[in-house]
Amino acid sequence: MITIALAKGRTAKKAVELFRMCGVNFPSLDKTRKLIIPDESGHYEIVLTKPSDTAIYVERGVCDCGIVGSDIISEYSPDVYTLFALNIGKCSMCIAGKKDTDLSSMIHVRIASKFENCAKRYFDKKDTSYEVIKLNGSVELAPLMDMSDVIVDIVESGETLKENDLCVLEKLFDISACFIANKVALKIKKDELIGFMEKLKKADEEVSK
Amino acid sequence: MVRTKNQTKAFAYIKETLTSLYMHHGYYEYSVPIFAGYDLFTSNKGHSRMLPLKLIAPNTDVILLRADATLNILDDMKKGERYKREKYFYNTQIVGVQEHTNTIKTNNQMGIENFSPLSCHVDAEVIMLMIKTLLCCGVSEVRAELSHADFLPAMMDEYKITSPHERETIVSLVSSKNAVKLDEFLLSLGIEETVRKDLCSVCMLFGDFDECIQKAKALCVNEKMASSLEYIKEVYEVLKIFGVEKCVRLDMGLANSMDYYTGIMFHAYAKGAIKEIASGGRYDALSKKVSKRANACGFGIDVDYLIDFMQQDKSVFKRTNKLVLKAPKLDKALYSEIEKLRDMGYFVDLDIDEEHDFSICSMNQRYKSFKEFSSSLKEEKE
């Protein structure tokens, strides 16, 4: 049995489509509210988690592998093997703010973000002093309410920023979903996990063609 | 830290069992100093993932609370007398600050350091003791994976990858087995496809010893790579003599971050564990620099994690060799039976009380007689 942790939402749905192409069939996620879902063969099981928790389930060994955004890997540095990047969940980590924001002229920057470590890592390399205000959601509110000068957040289409009169000031790095595995599970279930991974890689390449 | 009754039991058992195991192999306990100078940690590569906890000494010097067992032992050894074969074990608590959360953490560690002259026998003995450490604690399906510090660097030398940043990035990507990102990174360095393919294949070079050694041989492009594999094979032959080869695998992707190790590297894990339980290797350069001993090989165990693992897998205790023997009275015949059990490797805790009925208790089983206990052993063997 291979247990796969998946971040709930769009990534999970796309991943389930890829699994189907690999011959691993799960019921449609729209039709169930279950969090642990076995496949038809009984050899696989998906565990639906909050995106920021997916890597924890794999790191703690309760799931053998998982699909998680590279933003989470970058933020939390989980102790797992990051085996390959998929072509799903593509977006980017950006600094955003009001249109007239000039970062280079600021002596002190107030940054609101869910990704505290990513923000710190970037601003540590700059000469400006800074403070990170850790938020848990709707980060765009912070510059609008003048609680922060900028935000560090994931940008996919840029629509949310646009609707709130904010814009991307700088792109930090590209993000995509990654296939990760627990360090011990990969060794103990080597043949099963690598076989599954190779099939998944092929399906992902086919879809992205 | 407050331990539960079962954790306390497990900790006492681990301490007692491993002390006995190491002493039976000629290792003496080293009392790891509590303090070390600040320079020791900043000018040498420690193993701890935590930041050191700094203190101000009365003379205003900055000193560190025990941040790394090996470094503190090496530093302390330089003051002492030297012997040809120095073999030590330690049982200590290290202290540090977790980087992201800024909280002070302690971690119980045990391990061995062997300063005997370099030989495959010494390295094999250390690896065998790492495996036996887990077996003695009742852990089943122990796997020890071997690698060599020279293998990947020699490959990078051959392909003219010399920048420290590039080498460190490659080591980190190989360690996380991220072959796709590694390929992208190598491509950005302008490295040709066949070389990229070879370097990426190191990520997945793990598993059965004989199969992997053949695959690794095919990747050798210079003498240094070949001799590192030859050395691993020599160690493996000695491990066969020690009878632990069934537990041994290869993982050439186990890479040497920050050039800490200078020879063989290894780690051990078990089925059901979420991470490695023990890790180690040969670190001659660090030993020479700090303790003035030319050779050193050792390993450390995360005792706190081992306790957690033993709690999680209840059957572990079933496999341990701790027995409590209760009897209403003691006589010569009974004591000679007890001694037989001790000769078989059991730790027998004798409890004599008139109120007691005769019983032999293992961690989770009770036997009413020696006969019952012996037949359970026979069943287990079958």
**pLDDT for A144:** 93
Reply yes or no on whether the pLDDT at B317 is more than 60: no
B165: Cα separation from own chain's centroid: 29
Reply yes or no on whether the pLDDT at A192 is more than 90: yes
How does residue B314 score in pLDDT terms, banded at 50, 70 and 90? Answer: low
Reply yes or no on whether the pLDDT at B280 is more than 80: yes
CB contact under 8 A, B275 and A79: yes
**pLDDT for B45:** 67
**pLDDT for B123:** 97
**pLDDT for B203:** 93
DSSP B174: H
- What value does the mean pLDDT take over residues B134-143? 87
How does residue B46 score in pLDDT terms, banded at 50, 70 and 90? Answer: low
SS3 call for B10: helix
Calpha distance A36→A33 (Å, rounded)? 9
Q: By a Cβ cutoff of 8 Å, what residues of chain A touch chain B?
A: 59-61, 79-85, 117, 181-184, 186-188, 190, 194
What digits encode the pLDDT tens for the residues B152-209? 999 999 999 999 999 999 999 999 898 878 988 999 999 999 999 999 999 999 999 9
Tell me the pTM.
Answer: 0.80
ipTM of the complex: 0.72
Burial environment of residue B268 by CB neighbours within 10 A (0 to 12, 13 to 18, 19 or more): buried
**pLDDT for B265:** 96
**pLDDT for B362:** 78
**pLDDT for A21:** 93
Burial environment of residue B37 by CB neighbours within 10 A (0 to 12, 13 to 18, 19 or more): middle
Closest CB from B100, B180, B272 relative to A84: B180
What digits encode the pLDDT tens for the residues A109-154? 999 999 999 999 899 888 889 999 999 989 999 999 999 999 999 9
What digits encode the pLDDT tens for the residues B356-371? 899 998 766 789 988 8
Lowest mean pLDDT among A199-203, B91-95, B273-277: B273-277
**pLDDT for B68:** 87
DSSP B6: H
Lowest mean pLDDT among B69-83, B115-129, B259-273: B69-83
Distance from CA of B207 to the nearest CA of A (A): 7
Comparing alpha-carbon positions, the chain B residue that sits nearest to A190 is: B207
CB contact under 8 A, B269 and A184: yes
Q: Does B172 touch chain A (CB under 8 A)?
A: no
Comparing alpha-carbon positions, the chain A residue that sits nearest to B249 is: A187
What digits encode the pLDDT tens for the residues A71-116? 999 898 898 999 988 999 889 999 999 998 988 888 899 999 999 9
The widest CA-to-CA distance across chain A, in whole angstroms, is 60
Burial environment of residue A127 by CB neighbours within 10 A (0 to 12, 13 to 18, 19 or more): exposed
**pLDDT for B79:** 83
Contact between B283 and B296 (Cβ < 8 Å): yes
Closest CB from A82, A183, A190 relative to B275: A183
Comparing alpha-carbon positions, the chain A residue that sits nearest to B305 is: A60
Distance from CA of B344 to the nearest CA of A (A): 32
